[in-house]
Amino acid sequence: RSTLSSSSAASDVYKRQVQARHLAQGRLAGPTFSMPEFWLIPNTLVVPEGWVSQYPPTHVVAMAVVSRLGIPVLLGPLSFGLTVALLALALIRLLPDRPKSARVAALAIALCPLLVFLGGGSMNHVTTGACLAAVLYAALRARDGGPGWSVAAGLAIGLAVAARPLIGLVLGAVLTLGIWGPTTLRAGASGFRWLAARVAGTALGGLPIAILLGWYNLRLFGDPRTLGYLMAYGDRHRLG
């Protein structure tokens, strides 16, 4: 089972890498052939634009960027390093009275075998992890300072949703409202105005990504709300 799972993960990375190469060359999709059914592999599909993978665009765009820079193998390590750095900064704010515990926790994250393993590859787990670490840090900065940081939180949530939709939506809500909720309750009536400003900032930050994701879905799959998952597998796949 482990071998099959590893093979499937490697296959998914390869599909995204192929689409990323086309994207790096200025094309949303790859070319099609006279009999496309013989060229399709799981989690890919042919649309009017051409051959594409089923996956949302954040990770594919990140792969295209590092490909253009000539360092495609560094996407995983760079994403993992960014995740650790942001979580280390966030832990200091989460545990202001226990800085040693925060540092030990950050070190444990950096040395976690599973995370190190994921950081050595190019799966979208690491890209999403970096985005969600950014959500947590920005939410803490918005809690301790002005609402401007909530715009950054919204942008990071949007990028996470456009990488792994269900995880981005659920953890994006938890990492923002879970941080801001206690402050709102302690502040009483004024706390809800405080929260409303941060929720509005989050929506503002996520709006550009939502528009781009809608354009991507419309261009490839015919509807702004239709993800590649649904086009490939139908309603049973939902948000992936």
Q: Which is more confidently placed, 8 or 75?
A: 75
Rounded distance between C-alpha atoms, residue 28 and residue 55, angstroms: 12
Supply the mean pLDDT for the chain: 88
- How open is the CA angle 43-47-48, to the nearest 5 degrees? 165
Distance of CA 16 to the CA centre of its chain: 14
pLDDT score for 142: 96
pLDDT score for 1: 46
- How open is the CA angle 86-87-92, to the nearest 5 degrees? 105
Average the pLDDT over 120-127 and give the result. 89
Angle between helices 148-161 and 165-187 (to 10 degrees): 160
Is the pLDDT reported for residue 6 higher than 50?
no
Residue 156 tokens read as 């990071």
pLDDT score for 23: 82
Rounded distance between C-alpha atoms, residue 122 and residue 5, angstroms: 15
Average the pLDDT over 167-191 and give the result. 91
Nearest Cα to Cα of residue 129 among 118, 138, 113, 143: 118
pLDDT tens per residue across span 23-34:
888 888 888 777
